[in-house]
Copies of this chain bind each other. A is one copy, B any other.
Amino acid sequence: MLKGKPLVSIVSAGLSKFGKLEGLYAREIFAQAAKEAFDRCPNLDPKKEIQALFVGHMGESYEHQGHTGSTVADWAGLLHIPAIRTEAACASSAAALRAGIFAVLSGLFDVVMVGGVEKMTHRTTSEVTEFLAMASDFPFEQWHGITFPGLFALMATAHMHKYGTTEEQLAMVAVKNHHNGSLNPKAHMQKEVTLEKALSSRFIAWPLKLYDCSLITDGASCLIITKPEIAKKYTDLPIHIIGSGQASDSIGMYERESLTSLTAAKISAKQAYEMAGVKPEGIDVAEVHDCFTIAEIIAYEDLGFCKPGEGGQLIERGETKLDGRLPVNTSGGLKSKGHPVGATGTAQAYEIYLQLTEQADRRQVKDAKIGLAHNVGGSGATAAVHIFRRE
């Protein structure tokens, strides 16, 4: 395959409000995202032209509802099209995007919708913690009582031990992402946080404090993707996906090569960069999987934005701020925009779509031409990286 050749083109995208969406089912939240994508693309007749739907959804336990593909297809007005759910923990909708890319590349479909959804806030925090834990290893992790804050705390302490990363550097990720989120009208928490406040928030799992953790959020996201050669029929400014990588790793963290790096993310990044013919230096804007602040620092390293061990310094130097060399998580990230787990992968792609089409308003990155999205499932048993380019 020719390097940098568009795999598919994004011709529209939609995002529900992220937050505590009371009184709505997941299917209704997804319909909000779908409606935005339809409204944004008046040349498309959804009912006639969208031929398949792939929807990331992590947990049927939240609403006691599986069979998410058909359900959201119907509520989005797309009755009868083939519709399936993809699940790869918090990378469920990056997996949906991948399945959609394959479907379009197969030649069997011209126009496909991909997306994701999760409704979480009607459950108690302990229920959500338990449901999320299903993405970790049952016999050797869950059963012994460790949950995701604990697993990422292990990574954080290992990183601190090996590289001298500090609690202040972790908190700086939160400060940056909350600033960005304060500029995003769809973010769950649209408020700044000071370094002092983040550092003095209560411990969840040492060294991770409340402000090191992403949010429990309701939300949905979607993209309409097409064959590149027909994209102009639908929009003057299609965004091309030019690289896609995905890899897996052992479900249990105890079996991994490293605690300070995600092998699956490194493999995915390598695949995506090679397919795109792009180097880390060529990325203008990125959304990375900051489920915990340490995850963003490790992402910098796995994606080649800096050398291993230098992620803490990268945030400290301000290079990933909105006005820095390489703005990361301009949407506010999982930390401030929120993390409705099944929706996160395509929500990251939505932000990149806005940035590359200059629709990101107060958080617009100037002259952004190439973007990257990095989505992680669980503690790293899945990772997926996509690279996007404007024409």
CB-defined interface of A66-94 with B at 8 Å, one 1/0 digit per residue? 11111101100001111111111100000
What residue in chain B is nearest A134 (Cβ atoms)? B66
The verdict on A248 contacting B74 (CB below 8 Å), with A80-B263, A87-B84, A88-B84 known, is yes
**Cα-based distance from A102 to B97 in the complex (angstroms):** 13
B88 touches A247 (CB 8 A): no
Contact B264 A80 (CB under 8 A): yes
Task: For A86, list chain B residues within 8 Å (CB).
Answer: 84-87, 99
Report the interface size for chain A: residues with CB under 8 A from the other chain: 62
List the B side residues contacting A69 at CB < 8 Å.
87-88, 95, 248, 382
Taking CB atoms, residues of chain B closer than 8 Å to A89 are: 66-67
- Known contacts A25-B139, A79-B250; 15 additional CB pairs below 8 A are A58-B66, A59-B60, A60-B60, A60-B61, A64-B142, A65-B134, A67-B134, A70-B382, A74-B381, A81-B247, A82-B98, A84-B87, A84-B99, A105-B106, A105-B107
26 A-B Cβ contacts within 8 A?
A1-B107, A59-B60, A61-B61, A65-B137, A66-B87, A67-B87, A67-B251, A69-B88, A70-B378, A71-B251, A73-B248, A74-B249, A82-B384, A83-B88, A84-B98, A85-B86, A85-B87, A85-B88, A86-B86, A86-B99, A87-B87, A99-B99, A101-B106, A102-B105, A102-B108, A105-B107
